[in-house]
């Protein structure tokens, strides 16, 4: 009796475990590569929002806005985008700062991850 039940046991074989570990390792590698990119985007977003949150935004020129963002980029070590790549425009009573950039992060050998960020931040300056 005991031998019959042992042959009916189920579970992953060694090959099955290797496949599971390979997939888990690949997902962990992707996460390790993507987390810093998204943390840097968070710094970009915060820098632009902080400059726009200033009470004197309506008095700031385009150059003043860029300088404020550049200082925050320097403090937070943002390297994926430069302050002069921001698109700053005035739309009636609003100041809009556009962020549009790509980050290419190597994954394995000749396989890269391409992450694009595109967002507009606006402040009403009435």
Please list the pLDDT of the chain residue by residue as tens digits (126 residues).
Answer: 555 555 677 788 889 899 999 999 999 999 999 999 999 999 999 999 999 998 887 788 899 999 999 999 999 999 999 999 999 999 888 999 999 999 999 999 999 999 999 999 999 877
Model pTM score: 0.82
pLDDT of residue 35: 97
- As a whole number of angstroms, the distance between CA 117 and CA 98 comes to 10
pLDDT of residue 44: 97
Going by C-beta distance under 8 Å and a sequence separation of 6 or more, which residues neighbour residue 49? 121
Going by C-beta distance under 8 Å and a sequence separation of 6 or more, which residues neighbour residue 56? none
pLDDT of residue 59: 81
- As a whole number of angstroms, the distance between CA 106 and CA 38 comes to 15
């Amino acid at each position: 009796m005991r031998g019959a039940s042992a042959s009916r046991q189920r579970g992953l074989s060694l090959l099955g475990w290797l496949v599971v570990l390979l997939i888990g390792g690949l997902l962990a590698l992707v996460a390790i590569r993507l987390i810093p990119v998204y943390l840097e985007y968070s710094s970009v977003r915060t820098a632009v929002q902080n400059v726009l949150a200033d009470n004197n935004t309506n008095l700031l020129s385009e150059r003043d806005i860029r300088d404020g963002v550049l200082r925050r980029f320097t403090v937070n070590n943002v390297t994926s985008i430069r302050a002069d790549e921001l698109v700053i425009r005035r739309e009636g009573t609003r100041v809009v700062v556009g962020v549009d950039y790509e980050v290419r992060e190597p994954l394995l050998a000749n396989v890269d991850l391409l992450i694009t960020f595109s967002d507009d931040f606006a402040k009403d300056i009435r």
